Amino acid sequence: MKTKLFMPLAVALFATLFIGSTINVEAKTLTKMGAKQGRSYHEFIHEDGCKSCHDQGLKLPPSDNLCTECHDQQDLIEITSVKDKKHQWRNPHNNMHYGDKVPCIECHSEHKPKQPLCLNCHNFDFKKFKED
């Protein structure tokens, strides 16, 4: 059982340390709103305070259900799809490892910059990834 868990972790660590990522993540649209930072394109939500996003409580991240109230998952899959059949699984919203089941917060954050989860092991570029 331990071997099954160790190998993927070892590969991920190796890839992270030696392959690295060429993405430079800057949060250009992070703005100060009171004591917190948030995305300027979500400002209309911030007016209601932290609980407007933290629907599972303040100590937990927002649920995917909250994200998909405004962001349609099928639209995201289509927008980020790669038309080249050879690279069709390079879609962060529908990929060969997790399908369409990756939680939004694995790649997206309201308060700090993040990068796509895939870049922990892969070094390909997501041209449509919104860094800010």
In angstroms, the CA 38 to CA 15 distance is: 31
In angstroms, the CA 16 to CA 8 distance is: 12
Compute the mean pLDDT over every residue in the chain, rounded to the nearest whole number. Answer: 74
Does this model's pTM top 0.85? My answer is: no
Q: How far is CA 70 from the centre of its chain?
A: 16
In this structure, the number of other CB atoms found within 10 A of the CB of residue 15 comes to 16
Is the predicted pLDDT of residue 22 greater than 50, yes or no? no
The pLDDT tens digits for 85-116 are 888 888 889 998 999 999 999 988 888 888 77
Closest CA relative to residue 42, chosen from 30, 34, 24, 57: 30
- Sequence-separated (6 or more) residues with CB below 8 Å from residue 129: 23, 92, 107, 115, 116
With beta carbons less than 8 A apart as the criterion, state whether 76 and 93 touch.
Answer: yes
Tell me, what DSSP letter sits at residue 106?
G
